[in-house]
Structure 1
């Protein structure tokens, strides 16, 4: 008995110790795989000195490179640069001679490079720069068409290399990951390079900044008299749900709205429309970078725009199950090089339109859009229909499958549209798999029986193919439910940096929460599905969420960055694409464009931040003629008449979200927010709207957008590569111009002279 008691005591203490160890592992970062990025003792000794730096660096600009387009000059002591465009003689400077601001901002402005770093003592980011740091060394070495600068902040034991070189009419700025050195006490948080390149004061220059918000937006150079307090600060590709606190974007004076993502890693400044412009394209490190654009009055009198490269981030690490925690920073760095390519534009190219054309050319060179625009084909424009098949209805004792549109009902809908002259239809069938739309993902590749037999689906696909359309099966390789038989949250959900599972509320009654799948598990699901698609007669997919949601996660105890998640998604779609005749995507980020034959839900607006002066169709200019893209569903638009005109202006094809049955039946489902979707109620609208848009966009269907101009207030002209233009009148009165007359709230297709 005595031995038994001692055994009980030992077991009790052993269990307690195990619990403490488990708590430490889960909440305090006990993984041995995630280690600090500390340079070796030999590297640190060779790179850094404890004595103040003694070298004298030149404060005068000297020429370091020249080609037939540009001249590059450098000021060694701050690494400030000047770029002269030889075509016009215009000089772009990264520095301002006598800034009107306080000392902190003055040092930031003068410095070609600034960093945020973490101190292990407090975990809060601290900013410094080349001007503020006295104990530093900068060794400049000439390279072909540029220079390399080895930078050492001796007191911080942080070092890195910066290379700047000319490539045609572009300047490429690069920081190699392998050049970064760190000691034990201070850790690199982020890097900003040449933030004031092209900066202007107030409204001294007639121009604007371009930001990649939604379809695109402009911030006009002006003396804002202090009315704006916040800048445009957007993480490229949206918030990182693996580390960021889930939030709703606050848009000043417009309440609480969900802001659009920055789906393209670009920014720019225009000094005089069609005079001089610079476009920045973030090429490396873009998965962990932000676009910053500060209008006049936000901290300084200047308008400036740049990219901020995130090397590691801070986050709240829970220390209890009651949401207590401490702020810590990531131990390991994002293992990416950092690179921005600046393109200097002159004359007709010096505008947001020229920026879009330039970026389009870059995507073409990278193989993301195809070598040339699509060849002429069908005379009529395409139509996109999202159609809800089956959904799950909540019940008192059990859930039931609710058929909203069967395969035969959808076939009848398409026959009715075809009889009215609407036949080139791409259909995305939602809720087609067993169990319906919600609560089943990742669902098996099995057709839902209540929607029809395999033969019914095959006939439906043949019907759509004959009319030049395509039947897409709705898919999502990111969202998952714990009610799915193919998903176990503990092993297959993504784990956030703070070691919590990546889950969120749906705010819906039947399935109140959902998870995000680990990128590796999503790849496994896609690989398993690939062969099943062919067996089920599925030839095309329309993929939601995965093309635009990107997050970092913990994999086997170590942090896997967003760049690794993107690489995994590339592997996922590389696996699927050869098995399919076509793939469509909802709101894809730029790195997903090679896989998307058609794009759904493309925004026509920006987030309408109060400091923006105009929404512009940057994304549409990039895509038009190379990819078919569609607006968000018309039957969910608040002001359809004005939105239809916007669709004509942006060359966005029409889209609807439909059901055969009344949407009232969805009130007890996770699709309760689907309303006004019954086909019978929308048929006449679909026909009339399609015919109007076909009249406008049919003549320019295979052309690219080459120009856009404001003829008068509310009058927009969009010019195409085939010599045609569309003039849109947003006003309630008719427009009678020199060369064209356009009815109120109408449009006119014209031939462009010359």
Structure 2
């Protein structure tokens, strides 16, 4: 009996060993062959931190009046600091203009507010914090009696260190002069939390340059393409001002601190006062920041605009399966350096056009946008044409419904060539097997369109006509009903580490998106594809709280940028939707650039700030011609903003897409829109001479009449009253 049992043990051990070895072998093979993994062929994103400086105590220099003393000086600017409260001023020596961190004591005395609201006006910061045992926001500022200030010297400025004894919190604010202004930073390594209190947010210089309600000027906010809040007030005050998260709300916290859903695509803000202005660029920590603009009457009699740095997200914690929840805060902070760079402008540059031009210079100097100009075929304005192949229906069998086969696409582009459209970039959408629900997100042309052979033939035809072909792909979102990528393994997770599901979709971990994109780009090259249009990469950032990865919004942006970079290197072209600033470095074109305002009650006027920044470096289209709500007005806006013509078409009637996952295409049949495409192409090509030229000016000549001026002196006058436009030379009286 003992011998038999011994033999069984030997057999079981041997079998177990074989099983283990077999599993290990299978795992090794899987590691070597599975490309849909979290393994990356690029280094992880690394966070670099500012050094904590300022060990030598600051010795106040020459008295500057009202208790301020000189702290630093360069050829153009002088920095003064008040040693008793940490307030600062910057003097533009060339213009004799001072920009102050806070209103003067005389201005504060006239305010009707009291308590914290009043002392906020006198503080260089507003701190929002909470006690761990209580879910309650609390506010404090630099004038609290428990605050101890230590000021030390920096090479071109000072560091003001704040110790807040009663809550055991501390951090530093650095003020450093630059050649064109001032940098204000909160180094991550200067932040200390001990005891039960934690930092939620810090509002940096909330009243910098604040203007009275009687002064003339406006606040600039990145609302849509750009928004102005005029002062004195031009309309009845409604709401709580402008409060928007840069690059949109964080989707993983289930709540938003924004007052609406319109995305902020640029981390900038500014102010114009008389013939002086500043543009503020959030140059570090922008992906977890909020831009706040407060017209006079919201919290004081002053107009102000500033950055709010978020260190912890607020979210709803579920308490039961029935949906009951409580509001809580994250435990771990997002420790990143935070910096705002203030650039000062004067005279004719003191306005939104000057701000946009200065921002364009800043972005090209720092390598965040291409230098330009962008080449065009024969000096022509290119047509941005999207063809929809089809999609799966969403009412039961999920059968693929055709809208444009590859052969039909050949007919469309051939007819457009014969009609005189010589410059065109074609983007094919819904080309994948099963369309936009493409279960495994692989390169697999839909057989009902003609399969791989049909796609290859179409690309060859388009190339023969002088056109380029891109493929539209969505590698950011997936549908759990169809996807072969299990959400638990490949989906991002919310703060409580559960897979985030929204609108019957989940969001792919950025590392998975990266690897899927690498495969897609490689395979597209074999078919002669010229580029990729990436849905999501240019308009959506999020964290992933999966503890195995813990991707931040910075990590996500880094991976998305590298996808675009690879597409440009391998295929030659990468394009995005929306066009958040972080996506511009490797973007060859932006589709449907945001051109509408958020309709925030605070914003008085919409201006083409972003088009001024982009024109001559990156081409962009607005709403496609067959998808406009107000055709005539939106066509003229595209002309005014220097956009390229755009259409989304199908060979069959748009009814073929009615019950599919591609929704919102109400009229797209090529034969119905052919004449409109040709007419608009010819109209836009009246602007051919300004392709590649920067916008140098934009203004309203009179009610309903706007003028855009380009670097070569050509001006485009758009008359919304007569529904026409004119191209000429600036000052020709058109």
Same fold per TM (> 0.5)? Answer: yes
Q: Match for residue 469 of structure 1?
A: 467
Q: Match for residue 157 of structure 2?
A: 146
Q: Match for residue 85 of structure 1?
A: 92
| Partner of residue 114 from structure 2, selected from 83, 92, 102 | 102
Helix, strand or coil at the partner of 1:91: strand
Counterpart mapping for 1:713-724 below 5 A: 713-724=703-714
Question: Aligned-pair distance for 1:140?
Answer: 0.6
Q: Match for residue 289 of structure 1?
A: 289
- The answer to whether the 8 Å contact 2:370/2:618 transfers is no
The whole-number CA distance in structure 2 between the counterparts of 1:669 and 1:566 is 31
- The answer to whether the 8 Å contact 2:131/2:196 transfers is yes
Q: Match for residue 488 of structure 1?
A: 486
Q: Match for residue 205 of structure 1?
A: 215
Q: Match for residue 435 of structure 1?
A: 434
| Partner of residue 74 from structure 2, selected from 57, 63, 67 | 67
| Partner of residue 262 from structure 1, selected from 247, 261, 264 | 264
Helix, strand or coil at the partner of 2:251: coil
Q: Structure 1 residues 247, 187: closer, same or farther in 2, change over 3 A? A: closer
Q: Match for residue 497 of structure 1?
A: 495
Helix, strand or coil at the partner of 1:668: coil
Question: Aligned-pair distance for 1:233?
Answer: 0.3
The whole-number CA distance in structure 2 between the counterparts of 1:591 and 1:381 is 26
The whole-number CA distance in structure 1 between the counterparts of 2:439 and 2:353 is 41
TM-score with structure 2 length normalisation?
0.87
Counterpart mapping for 1:296-695 below 5 A: 296-374=296-374, 378-394=378-394, 398-437=397-436, 439-440=437-438, 442-505=440-503, 513-556=504-547, 559-695=550-686
1:245 paired with 2:235, answer: no
The whole-number CA distance in structure 1 between the counterparts of 2:485 and 2:149 is 53
Question: Aligned-pair distance for 1:428?
Answer: 1.1
Gapped regions of structure 1 (runs ≥ 5): 1-42, 44-57, 251-258, 506-512, 732-743
Question: In the TM superposition, what whole-angstrom CA distance separates every residue of 1:45-65 from its partner, at most 9, and x where no partner exists?
Answer: xxxxxxxxxxxxx97111111
Question: Aligned-pair distance for 1:753?
Answer: 5.1
Q: Match for residue 245 of structure 2?
A: 235
Q: Match for residue 166 of structure 1?
A: 177
Question: In the TM superposition, what whole-angstrom CA distance separates every residue of 1:57-77 from its partner, at most 9, and x where no partner exists?
Answer: x97111111111111111122
Q: Structure 1 residues 247, 386: closer, same or farther in 2, change over 3 A? A: farther
Helix, strand or coil at the partner of 2:728: strand
- The answer to whether the 8 Å contact 2:442/2:519 transfers is no
Question: Aligned-pair distance for 1:557?
Answer: 5.9
CA RMSD across the alignment = 2.1
Question: Aligned-pair distance for 1:423?
Answer: 2.9
- The answer to whether the 8 Å contact 1:440/1:483 transfers is no
The whole-number CA distance in structure 1 between the counterparts of 2:451 and 2:554 is 42
- The answer to whether the 8 Å contact 2:442/2:516 transfers is no
Question: Aligned-pair distance for 1:673?
Answer: 2.3
Question: Aligned-pair distance for 1:614?
Answer: 1.2
Q: Structure 1 residues 118, 167: closer, same or farther in 2, change over 3 A? A: same
Q: Structure 1 residues 485, 638: closer, same or farther in 2, change over 3 A? A: closer
1:750 paired with 2:728, answer: yes
Q: Structure 1 residues 120, 587: closer, same or farther in 2, change over 3 A? A: same
Question: Aligned-pair distance for 1:567?
Answer: 2.3
Question: In the TM superposition, what whole-angstrom CA distance separates every residue of 1:648-684 from its partner, at most 9, and x where no partner exists?
Answer: 1101111111111111122221224211111111111
Question: Aligned-pair distance for 1:284?
Answer: 0.6
The whole-number CA distance in structure 1 between the counterparts of 2:193 and 2:362 is 34
Helix, strand or coil at the partner of 2:166: coil
- The answer to whether the 8 Å contact 1:434/1:443 transfers is no
Report which stretch shifted further, 181-190 or 73-82: 73-82
- The answer to whether the 8 Å contact 2:612/2:695 transfers is yes
Question: Aligned-pair distance for 1:722?
Answer: 0.5
- The answer to whether the 8 Å contact 1:446/1:536 transfers is no
Helix, strand or coil at the partner of 2:167: coil
Helix, strand or coil at the partner of 1:682: helix
The whole-number CA distance in structure 2 between the counterparts of 1:229 and 1:627 is 36
- The answer to whether the 8 Å contact 2:249/2:258 transfers is no
- The answer to whether the 8 Å contact 2:402/2:656 transfers is no
The whole-number CA distance in structure 1 between the counterparts of 2:300 and 2:479 is 48
Question: Aligned-pair distance for 1:709?
Answer: 1.6
- The answer to whether the 8 Å contact 1:199/1:304 transfers is yes
Gapped regions of structure 2 (runs ≥ 5): 1-51, 53-64
The whole-number CA distance in structure 1 between the counterparts of 2:684 and 2:499 is 45
Helix, strand or coil at the partner of 1:560: coil
Residue correspondences, number: 665
- The answer to whether the 8 Å contact 2:514/2:560 transfers is yes
Question: Aligned-pair distance for 1:556?
Answer: 2.2
Question: In the TM superposition, what whole-angstrom CA distance separates every residue of 1:118-172 from its partner, at most 9, and x where no partner exists?
Answer: 11121222110001x2122111112111101121101111111211111112100
Question: Aligned-pair distance for 1:602?
Answer: 0.6
